[in-house]
A and B are shown apart, each in its own frame.
Chain A
């Protein structure tokens, strides 16, 4: 017997030829064969109107067509499949209908606790410790044992998707649930918005009072304070209050305090006064451990060689690692079978971003465009001031961000000696420390490089 889907597709393809398009769409849309039982075909229809119409007007045609395709069909029954009975993909995205009322609270139990902004999902139990984050973890444990005393402030920094937020929220959840402390988690962006709003409405004293009632303040992504002087001043006062009263304060950022530009010195030195720890990129073993934990949470399993492949080929970002894992789980649930290593390979290729390849020529071109000098002068032996600086910056970027060797840079940049390159890199490194502007320029150039690269990749 033919399978249901094929049989019905063939049947309605024939019926489509005999009736008008509008009729066909109206009466045959969302119909399918639900089951075949004892040579009776059960056709599922969306409502009673369609059932009655098919039964009265098209029954003979349908029966006739089905018999031609599958000889032993004895009869057809029409059953109504209601909306809501079907397994709905939409249920995954139940959050969709709330957006245009940003402040409106929903009746559903909200996932994030509004009083302290802590996400209960982030606890130490689900935090994997490896060599890349054990120092940060140890510092967090010390803070839990002696909040406000051990390391105050605790300053955690590291690249995106490495678990900073997880770690600091886990401290908050622990202090809240075990020690019954009043905890408040806020991203610095939210804090700044609150401050600005309160300045406008002259209610800044309310904000100050609000924060003073907490025992632990966690502020995420504080690099956003860069260049916001008035906000830095408020943060400074808030910090002093917490510090004087031996209340714990925790910061996270994507870079160490000294690298945050346009940060007032008194604030910078306070950030540096406690404990600064970094979270670096996970090693292979940690990645596998994270994958295994993720599998356990989803009650799912994957063979070791697949895990091994994921850990090796996904870059060092844990968030990306989890993303790949989720899509593998969903794919295999959808296909209802275990994915082979080749399928996993394709998935990873589609999911994770491509490793970028940048040629020396690209860098030189971007830098010379940025400083508005002719590209070829960079390679020439001229020592004109307006050419020397871009040339050194190009060397610095090639060395620092693309790990090119000194001799190779020298050779490509018009046959220079490797010591010239070393000197250039050292000089720029020193200059960055002295001048904020140079640092920003280099950031901009790097961004330009990355975006032009993205265009190139998609163009291929």
Chain B
């Protein structure tokens, strides 16, 4: 193998791949990044046998070939290398030599033929989606997924389509987030994919910042996402995602609209004085136009903040985990937040005012 490429492109690819590669594997090849040089491109690959990622960068290839080198070593090397320079890759005695104007380095490599095979696209189901929507859909839901692997169905982000568009859903059975996009080019296909949430987060990182339209292929075992320069594949979870629509309350007993900025500030203040389970309590008295956030901690003290806004319906006192509230806030569109309450032990619904595409549901805490 002999090739030349720019440092920045190589570094960008290696940083992304290094995250996927296994850190401490009993099988050292899994810690490596495979570099393949052919047809004026370098294709770099990494896998942890759960997801596989390939990134293609332009290069001047003089001799085809491939080499597997430890991801950590290459990553640290490139981030230490200063200057915006051209990098020349070559093989010396079966090891990879990297040289720039001021530096020459040889890195020991693994046998390239031991590098795992990353599964190729299989199956006829496909749809396309702009990268930014896929990334945003995952980001606005994945934090709600259960981190326990007892139930893989909910330790995941669920993607499906219906007449309303493409939906992203995640829940850990204490709260739930749902984000939808008005995408309807599915033709005959129906999408129903349960992605392990860690893998979903890898997808959002791999395509972060991309403006391409992605082609997504899938079968019952595997999902394949393709852009002109990136190829990503992950296993999908079997089983059935819980029928979550039934738990979203249709009625409303109290509703509150407040400014997002005010809400975030007051929750953060209250959370300082919350107990070790982050419990804060919301008090709603519509006749006094009162929406109040209270918290009390035996060791630190107590705090109470009143918010201005629209308050309607029945009086209510409800306890909620402050962390659960804060986590959804970045994904609420608009500058106002809309709460729907149905009593002190029924789920609370949170949306951005005027935004139908995002829904957050959180269960209260017991007194």
Do A and B share a complex?
A: yes
Q: Which residues of A are interface residues toward B (Cβ below 8 A)?
A: 21-23, 25-26, 47-53, 56, 80, 82-85, 90-91, 93-94, 96-98, 101-108, 114-115
Interface of B is mostly: loop
On whether the beta carbons of B119 and A49 are closer than 8 Å, the reply is yes
Q: Is B94 an interface residue (CB 8 A)?
A: no
For B176, give the chain A residue with the smallest CB separation.
A107
Say whether A84 contacts B247, CB under 8 Å: no
Report Cα–Cα, A90/B28, bound state, in Å: 32
Contact yes or no, B117 A82, CB < 8 A: no
Are A94 and B49 in contact (CB-based, < 8 A)? no
Cβ contact within 8 Å between B236 and A82: yes
Is B142 at the interface (CB under 8 A from chain A)?
A: no
Q: Are A48 and B277 in contact, CB atoms less than 8 angstroms apart? A: no
Interface size on B, residues (CB 8 A): 48
A-B pairs under 8 A by CB, number? 115
B194 CB to nearest chain A CB (Å): 8
Residues of B within 8 A of A93 (CB): 150
A96's partner among B148, B235, B363 (CB-CB below 8 A) is: B148
Find chain B residues with CB under 8 A from A83 CB. Answer: 152, 235, 237-239
B49 near A105 (CB under 8 angstroms)? no
Our pick among A26, A94, A105, A107 for the contact of B366 (Cβ within 8 Å) is A105
Question: Which one, A22, A56, A90, A102, contacts B27 given CB within 8 A?
Answer: A22
CB distance from B229 to the nearest CB of A (A): 22
Q: A107 vs B361: C-alpha distance in the bound complex, in angstroms?
A: 10
Given A53-B116, A83-B152, A104-B174, do A47 and B50 touch, yes or no (CB 8 Å)? Answer: yes
Q: What are 25 A-B contacts defined by CB distance under 8 Å?
A: A25-B27, A26-B26, A47-B235, A48-B122, A48-B222, A49-B117, A49-B119, A52-B116, A52-B118, A56-B117, A82-B235, A82-B236, A83-B239, A85-B238, A94-B151, A96-B150, A97-B172, A97-B173, A98-B173, A101-B365, A104-B363, A105-B366, A106-B173, A114-B366, A115-B345
Flag if A82 contacts B345 (CB, 8 Å): no
Residues in B neighbouring A82, C-beta threshold 8 A: 220-221, 235-239
Measured CA separation A23–B150 after assembly (Å): 27
- A52-B117, A103-B319 known; 16 new pairs, CB 8 Å cut-off, are A22-B25, A47-B221, A47-B235, A49-B117, A82-B235, A84-B194, A84-B238, A93-B150, A94-B151, A97-B146, A103-B365, A104-B174, A104-B363, A106-B174, A107-B173, A107-B176
**Cα distance, A107 to B367, chains bound together (Å):** 16
Of B173, B237, B365, most buried by chain A (CB within 10 Å of CB) is B173
Within 8 A of A (CB), among B315-361: 319, 321, 345, 347, 361
**Would A107 and B171 count as touching, CB distance under 8 A?**
yes
Let me know if B279 is at the binding interface, CB within 8 A: yes
B90 contacts the other chain (Cβ, under 8 Å)? Answer: no
Residue B131 interfacial (CB < 8 Å): no
A90, A94, A101, A105 pick with most chain B CB within 10 angstroms: A105
